[in-house]
C-alpha cells in the first residue's frame, strides 16, 4: 500500500472500562490481523487486529496494563479490571503492537495484512484489501529467533493438574 497517511496521526485508545488509556503520536507500520492460535486465545476471538507503534511514540496515559508472558520473549498486555486485550510485544523489540479494536478511532487504520494463515478459521473467507501473506507461524518465528522457543499457552485439549505458567500482574 502506497498511502501510509494513516500512520501520521495522533491516536488515543484504551480498554473497555477506561482504567487503562494509551496515546500514540504516530503509528509505525504493519496493521494486520493475526489468525495464530496464540492470538486467538489471547483475544478470545478468531483473530487479533494489531498495529505496530515504536516505543518512543507510545505512552500510557492512565493506569498500567497487566501482562501475561505468553512465551519467554513475549508479553501480552490487558486490563486486569475488564479484561480488554491491549497489546502484544516482543520484549527485545523496539515496537509494541497495539490492539486496533482498542483505539478510539479504529476505522482510521486500514488492515493491510493477514498472518498465521494456517490457523485461519474456515468460516473466515477474507478481509477486503488485506494481503494474505504466505507465511505460517513457524515461518514468522524464523524472522525473530527464539520468539517461540517457549510457549506458556494451555494446549488445545483438556488437561488435569495444569499449572498456569508465565502469569504476571
Interface positions with Zn ion (CB under 5 A): 15, 17, 19, 34, 36, 39, 79, 81-82, 116
Q: Indicate the residue among 26 and 140 with the shorter CB distance to Zn ion.
A: 140
Report the nearest approach of Zn ion to the CB of residue 86 (Å): 9
The number of C-alpha atoms within 13 Å of 104 and in the hemisphere containing its C-beta is 12
Q: Indicate the residue among 56 and 156 with the shorter CB distance to Zn ion.
A: 156
Report the nearest approach of Zn ion to the CB of residue 91 (Å): 16
Q: Indicate the residue among 146 and 160 with the shorter CB distance to Zn ion.
A: 146
Q: Indicate the residue among 19 and 136 with the shorter CB distance to Zn ion.
A: 19
Which residues have CB under 8 Å from 99's CB, separation 6+?
Answer: 43, 48, 49, 50, 84, 85, 86, 87, 88
DSSP-assigned states of every residue in 156-169:
SS--SS----SB--
Report the nearest approach of Zn ion to the CB of residue 108 (Å): 22
Give the separation between CA 121 and CA 132, rounded to whole angstroms.
14
CB atoms within 10 A of CB 53: 23
Report the nearest approach of Zn ion to the CB of residue 100 (Å): 13
Amino acid at each position: 500500500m502506497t498511502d501510509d497517511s494513516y500512520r501520521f496521526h495522533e491516536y488515543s485508545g484504551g480498554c473497555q472500562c477506561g482504567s487503562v488509556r494509551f496515546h500514540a503520536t504516530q503509528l509505525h507500520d504493519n496493521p494486520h490481523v493475526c489468525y495464530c492460535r496464540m492470538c486467538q486465545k489471547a483475544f478470545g476471538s478468531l483473530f487479533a487486529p494489531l498495529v505496530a507503534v515504536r516505543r518512543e511514540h507510545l505512552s500510557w496515559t492512565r493506569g498500567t496494563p497487566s501482562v501475561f508472558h505468553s512465551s519467554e520473549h513475549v508479553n501480552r498486555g490487558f486490563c486486569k479490571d475488564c479484561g480488554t486485550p491491549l497489546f502484544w510485544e516482543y520484549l527485545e523489540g523496539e515496537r509494541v503492537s497495539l490492539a486496533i479494536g482498542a483505539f478510539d478511532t479504529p476505522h482510521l487504520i486500514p488492515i493491510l495484512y493477514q498472518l498465521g494463515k494456517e490457523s485461519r478459521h474456515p468460516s473466515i473467507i477474507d478481509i477486503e484489501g488485506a494481503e494474505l501473506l504466505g507465511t505460517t507461524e513457524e515461518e514468522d518465528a524464523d524472522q525473530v529467533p527464539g520468539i517461540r522457543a517457549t510457549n506458556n499457552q494451555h494446549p488445545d485439549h483438556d488437561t488435569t493438574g495444569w499449572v498456569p505458567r508465565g502469569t504476571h500482574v
